[in-house]
Structure 1
Amino acid sequence: MSKTGNKQVVKVLQALDIEILSGLYEHRALSTEQIMRRYEMTKWYTYKKLTMLRNSRLISTHPIRGYLANQKRQGNYHRISETGINCLRKQGVVVERSADQLRVNIRHLPFLLSSNDIMIDLERYNWVMKDSRQVKVEYKLNRGANVQGMLTSPREVGYLFYMFMHGISKLNLNKTAKEIKESNYPNYMVFAKSQNSFTTIVNVFSADDGLIVKCESLKVFPFVFAKYYLRLFEDENNVIKFLEGYEIYDLSFKTSSVSGMKQFEGLKRVVRHNGEEKYLVNLLDTDLVKVYNIKQYRKEMYELDGRKVLVVTTPNTRDMHEQLLEQIHHVDYLEIDSGDLVDYLKAI
């Protein structure tokens, strides 16, 4: 640390300085709070460190605006400067883009910061994120596509993902649906920043069978809930372990002998619940492909097979799930309190 006039500046780059600069290069923009969380610094030290980097012209700082119409500013975000990129190059870090190429369009900023928020929370649980630029090149997607990137789980299952903010238009939803239909990729996640957005996405996408049949999974999450759920429960075997506390026991070694049951790919997990064998479907992730599969298990098939469907839901989503399945009467619901679920996942 050194002082120029009354300003503290970086005299010798420390390992943490290089990590922060590399993170800003890789992710284009990070908020003060995101930097504090990602690099496990106190609030005071975060401000001190960013001030020194800024005084040394290694980064630039800008106000965050525009998440909500009635909020003018929500703190600051930070970008690496051309001087910062040159410093990384001198440290042997491979850098190919200029600071100008990393500039973030102000309309895109809320989506980028939200995507980076998901990344910061999940990378410590062995998730990996590719940003939208990399995904569009790798999968030959249109440069104007809405896709925000790809999240790859610890099981090495990749999900292209989309982020929807507080305001949402049917035009934009239809554009996203068209993108998914035209892509050959099987798995998707959609994150909603508000309850209204979440409801709208589910209602619009669930009504589009042409969209659903193009996917192997199409999970729709409230934004905050997703950051807890995905720590552990993308792996359905972990969901089963959790449900043992609710006296639900896996019998998935059992298979149906009913002719034609192969078409119901989503109904292959058999459990014992309240003394009965049932097909378990975890809708904590509101996967619309799972909803579609349940709807294909019609009355005549249920009468031949004899097993009801046990849907795992929460008090916040039960009404929505019941509405989606209103024509299927052989369904039981198991409500998991959202608070209990988050507490369980926080302890991981």
Structure 2
Amino acid sequence: MSRANKKQVVKVLQPLDVAILKGLYEYRALSTEQIMRRYELSRWYTYKKLRILRNSRLISTHPISGYLVNQKRQGSYHRISEIGISCLREQGVPVERRADQLRVNIRHLPFLLSTNDVMIDLETYGWEMKDSRSVKEKFELNRGANVQGMLKSPRGTEYLFYTFLHGVGMKNLMKVSKELMDVSNPNYILFAKSAASYMKIVEHLSTNVSVIVQCQSLKVFPYTFAKYYLRHFEDESNVMKFLEDYEIYDLSFKTDFKDTRKKKYDGLERIVRHEGEEKYLINLLDTDLVKIYNIRQYRKEMYELDGRKVLVITTPMTRHTHEQLLGEIRHIDYLEIDSGDLIDYLSAI
């Protein structure tokens, strides 16, 4: 065989080779684009490195096309092979699963790749992820459960999460609602990949009080916006720093709650000064349905006794939805934050 036709193979595993194999083991599947982003490689070098790993039978490569209705080819995704797992073991990397245990059902592939896309953006900001199999084992769920995995924030809060693609059927929503009831985890994040799926999720779950009351948080995000928001704003103290530019100042640390007029209501713990008034602040940039439920419990008679309005932080894109969910409550003020300004701010940090 001529030198030109000879396939390049791995002679000695390099640190980058080990890192890519470890990533494929942890994430089960990564697209070419995701590998390029995660390891900060040029497109040319990514293709070269993957070709060498494939020639060495350390990974396998598969087309993404055909897994969604009317979807054209969307590039390739890659999986670690049994030989690749053996190499990781030889490198001292703890591995427990075989390659066939990491195989992805083609129906679940779009959800997995979407999930991995979020994590690649968030892991550099201190987020960690456990995959769906680990979560199903922990909560004793059957293999067909919809939960995509668990995200752990830099503050240590653990969120079970779900990803919804462009079409969301009522049967699927009912199944997810049942899972939310059965698992009884305190915190959830739901990612919606289209405006239509976002609205359908919000409309359905906002009326399911039995689910909402057992959660500490039930956040519904447009998929792309979530990847920016969760970098820093999962920690609401960072939201407060941002809102100082809008002349909103936190008074919670010095408010005397011994005064009966200053009674705390569920979910209304943060008091701010805005436009010369004391108000309860609710950040709905995350469309947390638990927060919306708590606002609705702060009824007119409570407001008349307490005297503080609720200041809701929203965006021009979500304000109408939030107003619909909150109904005809008159003791609410809305502050719109432009989504573009928000993303610019979060991108610059």
TM-score tier (shorter): over 0.9
Q: How far 1:196 sits from its partner (Å)?
A: 0.5
CA distance in 2, matches of 1:61, 1:164: 25
Alignment pair present for 1:80 and 2:80: yes
The aligned amino acid for 1:175 is: K
CA distance in 2, matches of 1:97, 1:85: 9
Alignment pair present for 1:324 and 2:325: yes
- Relative distance call for 1:66 and 1:231 in structure 2 (3 A) is farther
Question: Could you tell me whether the CA contact under 8 Å between 1:64 and 1:76 is conserved in 2?
Answer: yes
**Pairing of 1:19-168 with structure 2 (within 5 A):** 19-66=19-66, 68-168=68-168
User: Does 233-242 or 182-191 show the bigger shift?
Assistant: 182-191
Report what 1:293 is aligned to: 294
Report what 1:252 is aligned to: 252
User: Does 236-245 or 80-89 show the bigger shift?
Assistant: 80-89
1:127-149 deviation digits (Å, cap 9, x = unpaired): 11011111111222232211111
CA distance in 2, matches of 1:206, 1:9: 55
1:75-121 deviation digits (Å, cap 9, x = unpaired): 11000111211211222222222211111000000111111111111
CA distance in 1, matches of 2:89, 2:208: 49
CA distance in 1, matches of 2:205, 2:307: 30
Question: Could you tell me whether the CA contact under 8 Å between 2:219 and 2:288 is conserved in 1?
Answer: yes
Provide the secondary structure at the position in 2 that maps to 1:124: helix
TM-score where L is the length of structure 1: 0.96
Question: Could you tell me whether the CA contact under 8 Å between 2:111 and 2:163 is conserved in 1?
Answer: yes
CA distance in 2, matches of 1:29, 1:101: 12
- Relative distance call for 1:219 and 1:260 in structure 2 (3 A) is same
Provide the secondary structure at the position in 1 that maps to 2:125: coil
Report what 1:340 is aligned to: 341
CA distance in 2, matches of 1:260, 1:179: 38
Question: Could you tell me whether the CA contact under 8 Å between 1:228 and 1:345 is conserved in 2?
Answer: yes
CA distance in 2, matches of 1:273, 1:202: 28
CA distance in 2, matches of 1:203, 1:209: 12
Report what 1:270 is aligned to: 271
1:188-245 deviation digits (Å, cap 9, x = unpaired): 0000011100000000000111111110100000010000000000010100000000
Question: Could you tell me whether the CA contact under 8 Å between 2:217 and 2:290 is conserved in 1?
Answer: yes
Provide the secondary structure at the position in 1 that maps to 2:36: helix
The aligned amino acid for 1:280 is: L
Provide the secondary structure at the position in 2 that maps to 1:73: coil
Provide the secondary structure at the position in 2 that maps to 1:224: helix
Alignment pair present for 1:169 and 2:169: yes
Question: Could you tell me whether the CA contact under 8 Å between 2:61 and 2:76 is conserved in 1?
Answer: yes
Provide the secondary structure at the position in 2 that maps to 1:172: helix
Provide the secondary structure at the position in 1 that maps to 2:106: coil
1:9-65 deviation digits (Å, cap 9, x = unpaired): 211110100110111111110000110111111111111100111111111111113
TM-score where L is the length of structure 2: 0.96
- Relative distance call for 1:113 and 1:301 in structure 2 (3 A) is same
Provide the secondary structure at the position in 2 that maps to 1:111: helix
Report what 1:205 is aligned to: 205
Question: Could you tell me whether the CA contact under 8 Å between 1:180 and 1:214 is conserved in 2?
Answer: no
Question: Could you tell me whether the CA contact under 8 Å between 1:68 and 1:166 is conserved in 2?
Answer: no
Provide the secondary structure at the position in 2 that maps to 1:57: coil
Question: Could you tell me whether the CA contact under 8 Å between 2:67 and 2:106 is conserved in 1?
Answer: no
Gaps of 5+ in 1: none
